[in-house]
Amino acid sequence: MPDPELSDPRLIYTSKAINEALDEELARDPTVLLIGEDIGVYGGAFGVTRGLYEKYGRARIWETPISENSFVGMAVGAAMLGLRPVVEIMFMDFIALALDPILNSAGKLHYMYNGQVQVPLVIRTPGGAKGGYGPSHSQMLTNLFVGIPGIKVVAPSNAAQAKGLLKSAIRDPNPVIFIENKRLYPQRGHVPVGDYTVPLNRAEVTVSGSALSLIAYSAMVPVCLAVSKAFAARGVALEVVDLVSLQPLDRDTIVNSVRKTGRAIIVEEGCLTGGVGAEVAAIIAAECMDTLEAPVRRVAAADVPIPSSPELEKAVLPGADDVVKAVREILSW
């Protein structure tokens, strides 16, 4: 008998799901355009824009020089004038070169001009480490953006979510940072047929449980799901909360989960200090102190640059073993 997964025509790679979202939004709305390095004939560094240049041409797919500050600034101006640019930053590390137009223009202009200006801009960027890319091509820099007023930040954890979130981001009147994890590109998931969107401001409880809340985002969600499955086989029900939106955070879903379980571990690929997990921990401390049965734990990357050595990279990044250890310690199990 055929493998049911292989026979599902909608079981597609996350990279393909993102490509579908771009394709459908380019076809649906003539104001949508793509901007970035090598996104045309080459199809992007990770092949996400493959085939779109041949279909839509240079009028809709703008290939740029290696100058992130310049083309993000140009995209902010294009958005102010009524277009809906989707910018690709080849590696999240390079987004630092464009912080000025993001920090001082994209997120603020709507407020500075009393709502007379909108900036419907999406900045897509692959973050996270992937087998030896080294310290300048492997960072998960979510902490740089969650504190910028006026900027929405989302980080999908699977193919279906990635497609629906990107479509919502493109249609949103505000600037959105869309974080794609390199390790998720080759992972497959069932993606629904037809037009659908995923809200930009809601977390998802992907597994319901009562013993402890595992709260994560991006590539750490599949890790937490695997840990939850392993503990479920031993009769321990761990709840898994996928944050999805990092700015704004879905406080209600976080608080409701932790109030139910009484315990929380926050898992992220970004560095421990100053990360999204710190903000989630602060929410839990403010809203759930009366129901907590154990201290909140955080599992994250070490506060060091990501090494080039794959083995050292593995040692720096959080993994399933680290999550299991934290669960065992909290549950005294």
Which alpha helices (H) appear in the chain, and where do they start and end? 14-28, 52-56, 68-80, 99-101, 109-112, 159-171, 220-232, 251-261, 276-287, 310-316, 320-331
Which one from 25, 68, 180, 204 is the annotated catalytic residue? 68
d(CA 253, CA 263): 14
Nearest residue to 35 via CA among 111, 128, 101, 118: 101
Written as six digits, the tokens of 92 are 């999240």
68 is a catalytic site residue: yes
What is the spatial distance between Cα 153 and Cα 175, in angstroms, rounded to a whole number?
9
How is 267-294 classified by DSSP, letter by letter?
Answer: EEEEESTTSHHHHHHHHHHHHSTTT-SS
The sign one gets for the Cα dihedral 54, 79, 139, 13 is negative
Q: Is 63 a catalytic residue?
A: no
CB atoms within 10 A of CB 149: 9
From the list 25, 88, 110, 137, the catalytic residue is: 137
Residues with catalytic roles: 68, 137
